[in-house]
Amino acid sequence: MRTICVLFFCFVSCSCQLQSTLEQFRRIFNLNNSPPVDPSVNLKKEYDFIVIGAGSGGSVVANRLSEHPDWSVLLLEAGKDEIFLTDVPLLAALQTVTSYNWGYKSEKMRTACLGLVGSKCNIPRGKGLGGTSIINFLLYTRGNRLDFDQWENMGNPGWGYEEVLPYFIKSENCTLCDDIDRDYHGFDGYLNVEHSSYNSPILKAFLESAESMRYKNVDINGGDGLGFSKAQATMKGGRRCSASKAFLKPILHRSNLHVSIESRVTKILIDPATKQAYGVEFLKNKKKYRILAKKEVILSAGSINSPHLLMLSGVGPKEDLERAGIPTIQDLKVGYNLQDHMAMSTLVFLVNESITISDLEMQRPRFIYDYIINGKGPYTIPGGALGYGFVQTKYNNTSDYPDIELVLGAGGLNGDVYGSLRNLLGIPNSLFNRVYLPHLGTPSFSIATVLLRPKSKGRVLIKDSNALHWPIFRPNYFQEEEDVDTMVEGIKMAIAMTKTKYFQKYNARLNPIPFPGCESLPFATDEYWRCSIRHVSTTLGHQVGTCKMGPKTDERAVVDAELKVHGIGGLRVVDGSVMPNIVAGHTNAVIMMIGEKAADLIKSKWRNV
């Protein structure tokens, strides 16, 4: 990993000496010629709107609200600005060892992550302008039509598929050329969506093998709910297009928008008598600030930090707040309904030709050059994922609604020489040495199985009243046996794909070394997979649902269909935490859609005031 960084910087400096024009320099380091954010912005005492958190949700809201020239907007972000390294799509896993990751861990559970470091799950969350979209895997998906219809049926008018689709389109600048459903895409939004220019015979095998199993090759962000696609990615010219690059950098010149980085909000100010939110408290350079909001406070700190901040501010389950010594202003089920996507990313398939990638392979100067100078080559593979497929198991095969996603990885864990993937997933070195090291240097790929519609639900709880202490993260992954059943079927589908002639021409075979802790079970039986799922499956980082959207009659609801916190004035939540149910897809674009829709709701309230 360190070698890759050094090589990168060498290359950048060499190529800069060779072609030392300012333009070249700009192009390499600064996509969009985006200016850096001034860390010492002069803050005012009061703004119309204060947005907490510059992630996928917050960046969109700050952009859209500051379109109104008479409204002043303050965007507060705990982390820093992005850098050159966070832009490299293939190196996504590397970001989790940097300060761009909050670095949370789950509580110990009896049902999951048993074979991982400390028997806990790693819970990476992004910290910086762009939030988790700075460390994510760039995969662009929108979830299934039925996800949103279900949200609406749960008592949230305006959130059905037909009503949210225009907001997906509004955000998007689609630059995909081939085989897309044009009616479903946007072509002049802020968010660039493209394919990696890199093509691999493994992707071809994946798509062909899917077809032989009756799954079409489709535009999964179009009209089809099931099928396989080459990965669509939030990328521009082969570099990461984070929420910040898309929605903040192009508008930093707006004088009514102040962006303050390294500003950690510790409390939302709420008048206990009127239950009106009127400002925030935050720490910046060890100094405490109190800034007021004339119109609204918008909480976009993500699915772990948003519920935590609400609880610190007196909004949450009364019994928990009392335990932490915080006076309750509004008793709500904050932190409940936590849902996430677990994945088996640890299955490696060995092949007999160098058609895959590995850390060693990636040191080739040609690849590094191609990325830096042209924005092309294998470094532009989004998070290492070449393609994805949305499929159904026998447990839910009734409609056009997948319960499993299969993600094709261009390489396998046995190629993770520098340990960035191991680090992301929390794979202990002992496990790596036993299961993967014997195949070091053998070309391999992976197919990760993702449980799209889990039944298990978890919680985020407050530990104590110190805002700088971590909340408790209790995800309860695989607590429901049905989740394990579905996952087993998904794994068997992944393996079946590799047995078709399309993969067999590379002699694809599952790594035969069993996972520690499951060796006593006959290899590759259902019982073996059940054990493996509980030992070595990991989160895809899609935590949602902890400030659930729903009507007053829903006892778990925290915000209403306009994302206003029940019982509190002047306070909305706009991020992944408001999802009443997790979507059957990756969450970044969905949260940007939530940001777009929220901004319109806020505008329609204040436009004529």
Ligand X SMILES: Cc1cc2nc3c(=O)[nH]c(=O)nc-3n(C[C@H](O)[C@H](O)[C@H](O)COP(=O)(O)OP(=O)(O)OC[C@H]3O[C@@H](n4cnc5c(N)ncnc54)[C@H](O)[C@@H]3O)c2cc1C
Binding region for ligand NAG (CB under 6 A): 173, 175, 188, 192, 352-353, 394-398, 401, 505-507
Beta strands in 315-394, from DSSP E residues, in sequence order: 315-316, 330-331, 342-344, 348-350, 385-391
Establish if 389 lies at the interface with ligand X (CB under 6 A).
Answer: no
Which residue from 45, 31, 49 is spatially nearest to 192, judged by alpha carbons? Answer: 31
Establish if 132 lies at the interface with ligand X (CB under 6 A).
Answer: yes
Cα 205 to chain centroid distance, Å, stands at: 27
From first CA to last CA, the distance across the chain in angstroms is 54
Closer residue to ligand X, CB minimum distance, 56 or 476: 56
81 CB neighbour count, 10 Å cutoff: 23
Tokens, residue 606 = 């204040």
b/e code 116-127 from CB counts within 10 Å (16+ = b): bbebbbbbbbbb
- Span from 171-179, 212-220, 254-262, 585-593 in contact with ligand X (CB under 6 A): 585-593
> Closest residue to ligand X, Cβ-based?
55
Smallest distance, ligand X to C-beta of residue 410, A: 14
Closer residue to ligand NAG, CB minimum distance, 367 or 506: 506
Which of ligand X, ligand NAG, none does 456 bind, CB closer than 5 to 8 A by kind? none
Task: Examine the residue annotation and report whether 542 is marked as an active-site residue of this protein.
Answer: yes
- The answer to whether 132 is a known ligand-binding residue is yes
Location of structure tokens 């761009």 = 100
Smallest distance, ligand NAG to C-beta of residue 104, A: 29
Q: Which of 77, 81, 82, 489 binds ligand X (CB under 6 A)?
A: 77
579 phi/psi in degrees, rounded to 5: -60, 125
Q: Which of 28, 47, 49, 53 binds ligand X (CB under 6 A)?
A: 53
- Selected catalytic residue, list 308, 341, 439, 586: 586
b/e code 406-418 from CB counts within 10 Å (16+ = b): bbbbbbbbbbbbb
Which of ligand NAG, ligand X, none does 188 bind, CB closer than 5 to 8 A by kind? ligand NAG
Can you tell me the distance from the alpha carbon of 1 to that of 598, in angstroms, rounded to the nearest whole number? Answer: 40
Can you tell me the distance from the alpha carbon of 90 to that of 577, in angstroms, rounded to the nearest whole number? Answer: 27
Cα 594 to chain centroid distance, Å, stands at: 14
- Selected catalytic residue, list 185, 195, 341, 542: 542
Secondary structure, 3-state, 64-122: HHCCCCCCCEEEECCCCCCCHHHHCHHHHHHHHHCCCECCEECCCCCCCCCCCHHHCCE
Can you tell me the distance from the alpha carbon of 78 to that of 475, in angstroms, rounded to the nearest whole number? Answer: 24
Location of structure tokens 């760039």 = 138
Can you tell me the distance from the alpha carbon of 607 to that of 609, in angstroms, rounded to the nearest whole number? Answer: 6
Task: Examine the residue annotation and report whether 535 is marked as an active-site residue of this protein.
Answer: no
Establish if 387 lies at the interface with ligand X (CB under 6 A).
Answer: no
Let me know: does 94 contact 397? Beta carbons within 8 Å: no
Which of ligand X, ligand NAG, none does 454 bind, CB closer than 5 to 8 A by kind? none
Closer residue to ligand X, CB minimum distance, 139 or 174: 139
Tokens, residue 257 = 């928008």
Side-chain half-sphere of 55: how many Cα atoms within 13 Å?
Answer: 35
Smallest distance, ligand NAG to C-beta of residue 139, A: 19
Closer residue to ligand X, CB minimum distance, 128 or 375: 128
Which of ligand X, ligand NAG, none does 394 bind, CB closer than 5 to 8 A by kind? ligand NAG
DSSP-derived letter for residue 347 is -
Which of ligand NAG, ligand X, none does 175 bind, CB closer than 5 to 8 A by kind? ligand NAG
Side-chain half-sphere of 510: how many Cα atoms within 13 Å?
Answer: 19
Smallest distance, ligand NAG to C-beta of residue 393, A: 8
Q: Which of 64, 185, 239, 264 binds ligand X (CB under 6 A)?
A: 264
- Span from 76-84, 192-200, 345-353, 509-517 in contact with ligand X (CB under 6 A): 76-84
Q: Which of 28, 75, 265, 582 binds ligand X (CB under 6 A)?
A: 265
Establish if 545 lies at the interface with ligand X (CB under 6 A).
Answer: no
Establish if 378 lies at the interface with ligand X (CB under 6 A).
Answer: no
Radius of gyration of the chain (CA): 23
Smallest distance, ligand NAG to C-beta of residue 502, A: 12
- The answer to whether 265 is a known ligand-binding residue is yes
Binding site for ligand X (CB under 6 A): 52-58, 76-79, 124-128, 131-133, 135-139, 264-265, 300-303, 305, 309, 383, 541-542, 575-576, 586-589, 591
Return the active site residues: 542, 586
Which residues are known binding-site members?
A: 132, 265, 576
Which residues are known binding-site members for FAD?
A: 132, 265, 576
